[in-house]
Structure 1
Amino acid sequence: MHVRMLTGGLAAACLMSVSLTGGQAAAAAPRTADAPLAARVLTYDAGGSAEFRSAVDRGAAIWNESVDTVELRPAAAGQRANIRVLADNGWPRALPTTLGNGTVYIGRQAVGQGYDTIRISSHELGHILGLPDRKPGPCSSLMSGSTAGTSCTNPYPNAAEKAEVEGNFGSALAGRAPAVRTGVIVD
């Protein structure tokens, strides 16, 4: 009985809406708030990363596996990249300019001390994606950086770090830019 009353009421509502639109069926506009946003594609140029090229590519792939709102891709030949990755003899660091843009240095000093190159790459890319250092911290926190020690080889962001990047880029995709952290971030 309840089903008949519901379907009868639904039919009456449909007839009423057809009569209000002049006998033409009107489709409801799609709800954009419920539609998933496409990932923002960021390109990176690892041409200057020397012996760390494969670690940089793996660090980018880890972020691609971990978040949906941003995708890191190698820049095509001649394309200006959002992120430049360079190798040098100093300590690893990132110089974000705006969210998703900047320069990463994979420093040989940390590698020489025994730190994992893929963790370094993933960590420094995390800064470009808007994450700060979280020191001291456990190995389970990618952004704990060097405070997790040389035995830590975990290159994956934890749930909170993933959520923060999703929020940063989800807001940016929806037209709300998060606060930008600029300046040199060492480690």
Structure 2
Amino acid sequence: MLFARFLRAVSVLLLGLAFLSTVTPAQADARTDAAAVRVLRYDASRAAEFRSVVDQAAQVWNAGVTNVRLVAGTPADFVVLADNNWPRASVTGLGRGTIWMGRQATSQGYYPLRIATHEIGHILGLPDRRTGRCTDLMSGSSAPVSCTNANPSSAERAEVEANFAGFAPLVEFDKLYVDSPDAAALVPAP
């Protein structure tokens, strides 16, 4: 199963790179305009002090992908809440679920914008990767506390594009993704 996930991730990456290398910017713009953009509404009204950070994270994703657009509004496809635990996401389907912006991570120095962008990544179909690299958004808390990179890598953006183009996402639905340093031992590596 681990090897199958690896092959799937590699194929999504290669497909994304192949698309990018065969399309001129003008053609890409025309295809983007012609293709249906999936609009996902999110409700951050109960995200307390994280509300503006969630809006910023949505803009990070909007700047990085073309076939999905995140907008604040209701009825919501996903909701964002604040609590005193670790950040986490419950993904019920592609583009659907609940995010908790946990204060435990921010009290330990983790960057709120990176947390919000990472958790939205789960909603967009990305699993935890726990590579420990700051350049990988989905490495989450396995990256150093000092990491402030809130931008998805080109591979992560390509994977989201593929997810919303009809490819099966690698994220498991109806699973709770907890982003704490202790969770790294509990979550199997992809």
- Please state which band the TM-score falls in when normalised by the shorter chain: 0.7 to 0.9
Task: Work out the CA distance in 2 between the residues paired with 1:116 and 1:144.
Answer: 13
* Structure 1 residue 179 displacement after superposition: 6.1
Partner of 2:67: 69
Q: TM-score, normalised by structure 2?
A: 0.74
Q: Deviations over 1:106-147 (max 9, x none)?
A: 000000000000000000000000000011330000000011
Gaps of 5+ in 2: 1-29, 180-190
Work out the number of aligned pairs and report it: 147
Preserved CA contact (<8 Å) 2:65 2:160: yes
Counterpart check, 1:185 vs 2:183: no
The within-5 A match list for 1:29-178 is 35=31, 36-75=34-73, 79-171=74-166, 178=169
Gaps of 5+ in 1: 1-33
Could you say what the CA RMSD is over the residues aligned between the two structures, in angstroms? 1.5
Distance 2:69 2:41 in 1: 8
Percent identity between the two aligned chains: 55
Q: CA deviation at 1:38?
A: 2.1
- Kindly indicate which of the two structures has a greater share of residues assigned to helix: 2
- Which aligned runs of 4 or more in structure 1 are off by greater than 2 angstroms? 176-180
8 A Cα contact 1:98 1:180, kept in partner: no
